[in-house]
Structure formats: structure tokens, C-alpha cells
A = this chain, B = another copy of it.
Amino acid sequence: MTYRAPVAEMAFTIRQVAGLDRAVAEGLHGDLTADLAETILEEAGRFASDVLAPLNRVGDRHGTPLRDGVVTMPPGFREAYRAWSEAGWNALPGPEAYGGQGLPLLLNAACIEMWNAASMSFGLGPLLTAGGVEALSQHGSEDLRARYLEKLVTGEWTATMNLTEPQAGSDLSALRSRAEPAGDGSYRIRGEKIYITWGEHDLTDNIIHLVLARLPDAPAGTRGISLFLVPKVLPDGRRNDLRCAGIEHKLGIHGSPTCTMVYGEGEGAVGWLVGEPNRGLACMFTMMNNARLGVGLQGVAIAERATQQALAYARDRRQGKAGTAAEGMSPIIEHPDVQRMLLTMKAYTAASRGICYLTAEALDRAHRAADETERRAAQDRASLLTPVAKAFSTDIGVEVASLGIQVHGGMGFVEETGAAQHLRDARIAPIYEGTNGIQAIDLVTRKLPLQGGAVVRAQIAAMRAVAERVLREGGPAFGHTAPRLREAIESLDRATSFLLRALASNRPEEALAGATPYLRLFGLAQGGACLAQAALAAQAEAAAGSTDPAHPARIALARFFAESLATAARGLEETVTAGAGSLHDAALALAS
């Protein structure tokens, strides 16, 4: 089963939900037009469908064998990567001064979705490179930028993030890797890092590792961590003192090598400081925030691909006689229960896409808006939405991939079908780049309090405005979209107040206990608002004469989401607000 990039849907979401049309009208994106954006998406879609999608299965089967420190990527990956980077896809959002095309992150978000839907193992590498570009652009010295940035922007080389050590995962304070000044401005790095994505591969001539380590006499904990750039091949052409010592045997993304990297077994790996000493974590967060949206998009991507595959199967497979059908077996897509599964897949996918694209648009505005107040507000909005984009979308990725298996029945459990690979691949996304639990805690304890709660209130007000427009303007096809969406938003509003009070009253345990259900609730309300906005735009275009059959479908999907999925909001609100008491007592149940 192949993948077709849903370019029309992506373009519609970018323009009508994420607001590209408005941004273009405001002059945020220079001479970019919506038409040009769609042309670029069509190009990207062709590349993703024709060149990358066929690699998905190959990567899963072949894996990335390690021999004598050399990792061999699956057949076809090298050629595809070269063609992909030479076509300029890696450079799409990069700074023009370093060979980039300076196009909006919003446009790139849709492209990231396509690369990862085509092959998550392939798409993952460039996500890390993008994080490296971001960290180097913002924190690297002029010298480091001159030496490395262009090659990373174009994708001639790739980058990695080296955070985790066996004893230091979600908690980096326990990090042990060391860096000693060599006296010539460089450092010698020593330590072992695990779970390093694309830590070693044969796609490019060099790999730029960004490595967290401690300087001598650095304070303990997270305030004593610095970031270093450690290339695989040194500027003079020698191999650096680092190697891939192992490859993980994983549940999924078999085409993406997850490496154990050893630095400085000999004279020490040569590296250079990025940013200030002991401020490495801040630099790394620059990379991670970028990567978090990227991982959220992987969730959307895998959900989209699983949905396409399940839909194709359900149209083809005949079992049972549906409703008032004539003799013979009906395609299973005609059975209500199968329809419910497919619609759930489609609605969750579209909702998480809306949230991710909205986040990308906020980041664009934070960089590009003329007015500083607007830039800052957009940055706050992006900060608020990023953990939701990451965690909600990746949970959705897993759920939708699992439903995709279910639609296939017994065939879904057979690896040959390909549906099972989507679940295996999707399952990493809620874990890496900060587990979804960490995202929820970040949302509640750091993002809700932004500007004294004004950021989240503004976001809720924006959702409410959509619900009110549906109430005023939505035709009969909207059914109960408005009241259901409104209820979800009010649940979010009350849960937000509860959590802000808990934080203000120094009851952090209550806030932490409710974080995960709160994030889900946020995703449902925001996702429902995104779909409703798309539906309103579809209604308007239809009223203006468009006969695109996707328009009534968009209204129906928003309605299904509001009436069948966003209905979970009230229960989640209760879980958040009941949360802590029950959780505290129940810790007993864990002890016994």
C-alpha cells in the first residue's frame, strides 16, 4: 500500500486553519503566495509518494546493520537522501545567508508530515539536522557557523543530539560526560551517549554531533551542563575520536539507526563549545522545541498513512451485507462500526494536523511579525501549543495506527500487510524528545502560568470565538457541533482555572496529577476548534460557488469530531479536578 500526500487537504489547513492567507496578506512572507505554497506542496508530495514511500517497507525489513563501527543504511536510502537534499528540501526553511530558502516553518511543517508519512525512519534524520541548524544559528560562534551551518542547512551533512546517558534520561542532572579545554579553543570530550538517532550512517560524508557534557569544576545538576559541537570528521579530514558502539534492536523505525556513541576512548574527541559555558541546556532546548513540533508532525504523518491504508482496504474488502444493500457482500466501509473507526482515524488525524500547523504558524509569526508585541505574543502561543502538538498528536498517531490494524481484521496482524509497521513505528513518538508525560508537565507547570495565565486564556478565547461563529453561521449540516464544541471548551476553561489555582496555592502535586488528562482535554478542544474553523471556511467556499466535494466532507468531519470524540472532554475535566486526592490515596495500591 502506497502513500499519496493529501496536498489539497494540507493546503486548505495551512490557508484556512493556520492562517497562511492572512499572513500572506499581511506581508509576513515576502513574495510567497498561497498558490506558490501549494505548488511547492505538490512537488514535495510527488517526491514523498514516488521516491520515499517505497522505502518504508525496505527500511523496516532491512534495518541498519552495524559492522566494525560502520552503519549501513537500508538499500535506496543513500540515493533518496542525496536526491532529496539536492532538490533543496532540507534547505526549505533554512536561513538564506547559509544556503536556505527562508520559507515559512508552516510550509515546512506540511513537508515534514509528508517525509515522515512516506518513511518515518527517513524523515527522522532531517528533523535532528533541523534542530542542529536552529541551535547553531542561535548559539554558535561566527566561526562555527561559517564552518558548519551551510552544510547542515543544505543537508550535505546531518546533525545529531546527544543528551541521554544510561543514568540520565528524562533527568539530565545526572549527566556524566566530560569536556576538558585543550588550550587552543577546542575541547576534548569523553563519555558514552545512548539512543542517538542517526548517530552513525553512510548517507553523508560527515555527521555533526551536538553533545551535552560537563566542563571541569562545573556545578552539579543541570546548571553545569554545556553544549559541544563534535564532528565525525575533523576539518583537517581526520576521523574524530568517536564511534558507534552499538545499535538498538527496536520495536519500530528499523530504518533509523539508534546508536550508542562513545566519545574519547583515545586522546579525547575534539569539540567546540556552542553558546555559553554551563548554559548547554538552554541551547539544547532550542533544538528540542523545534524537534518537538517535528515529532508531533510524525504523529500526524503516521496517522495519515495508517488512515489511507485502512480506507483503501475497507473500500476493497467485502464481508457481510450492510444496511439495505442488495444481494452479495458489501465493502466493509459500508458497515457503521467500520465507518466509526475510519472516521475516528480521519478526524483525529485532521485535528492533530490543525494543532501542529497552528503551532508552526505561531513560530513563523514569532520570527517574522513586524510588531514586537505581536512577535512576543506569537512566541508565547507557540510555547503553549508545542507540548500539545507533540503529545496529543503522537498519542493520536499510536491510537490511529492501532485502529488501522483493527480495520484490517486478521490481515492487520500479519506483517506483510504493512498496517502493523505503522503501530510499531508510531510507538516511539510519545517517548522521544521528552515523553508525553514530560510534555503534559511542561504544559501545566510552565506554559499555563505564562503572562499570569493570559496566554492560555487568549487561546481559549480564540477557540470560543470559533464555536460562537459555528453557532451563528453554521448551517444545518453542522448538527450539534456548536454546543458540543462549546462544552469541550468550557471544560478546558474550568480545568485551566483549577490548575492555575493549584499552582498559585502551592499545591503542585494536584497540578502534576492532572497534567496528562488536561493535555488531552486541551487537544480535544483545540482540535475541535481547528476542524470547526475548517468547516466554516468550507461552508463559505461552497456558498461562494465551489463544488469541491471535500467541503461538505469537512463540515461532516467537524461534526463527527464534536459529537463523537470531543464528548470525552467533560470526563477529562472531572479527572483533572478530582485527580490528586484519588491519586494520592491510590499510591497505596502501588505499594501493595
Identify the A interface with B (CB < 8 A).
Answer: 164, 168-171, 173-174, 194-195, 248-252, 311, 319-320, 323, 329, 333, 335-343, 346-347, 398, 402, 405-406, 409-410, 412-416, 420, 423-424, 427-428, 430-432, 435-437, 440-441, 477, 479-480, 484, 508-509, 512-513, 515-517, 549-550, 552-554, 556-557, 559-560, 563-565, 567-572, 574-575, 578-583, 585-592
Contacts and interface: CB of A to CB of B under 8 A. Distances in A.
A393 to B, nearest CB: 15
Contacts of A575: 563-565, 567
Interface majority SS (helix, strand, loop, mixed), chain A? helix
Per assembly, the copies of the chain total 2
A251 B415 contact: yes
Given A252-B413, A440-B337, A590-B343, A170 B319 contact: yes
Q: What 9 pairs across the A-B complex have the smallest Cβ distances?
A: A567-B571, A553-B592, A171-B319, A553-B589, A251-B420, A336-B512, A560-B586, A337-B437, A563-B582
A89 B423 CA distance: 36
A420 B336 CA distance: 32
A409 B484 CA distance: 35
A398 B402 contact: yes
Contacts of A556: 582, 585-589
Contacts of A420: 250-251, 427
A387 to B, nearest CB: 13
A554 B589 contact: yes
Contacts of A406: 430-431, 435-437
B414 A250 contact: yes
B579 A164 contact: no
A170 B579 contact: no
A171 B329 contact: yes
Given A250-B414, A336-B513, 18 more contacts: A171-B329, A249-B415, A251-B420, A251-B423, A335-B512, A336-B515, A339-B513, A339-B586, A340-B516, A406-B435, A412-B431, A420-B427, A549-B591, A553-B589, A553-B591, A557-B586, A564-B583, A567-B570
A74 to B, nearest CB: 18
Contacts of A398: 402
Given A413-B252, A479-B581, A559 B586 contact: yes
A581 B481 CA distance: 12
14 contacts: A164-B410, A250-B414, A251-B423, A251-B424, A311-B590, A338-B437, A343-B583, A409-B431, A413-B427, A477-B585, A479-B578, A553-B588, A567-B570, A570-B571
Contacts of A583: 336, 339-340, 343, 560, 564
A320 B512 CA distance: 14
Nearest to A252: B413
Contacts of A579: 563-564
Contacts of A346: 589-590
A173 to B, nearest CB: 8
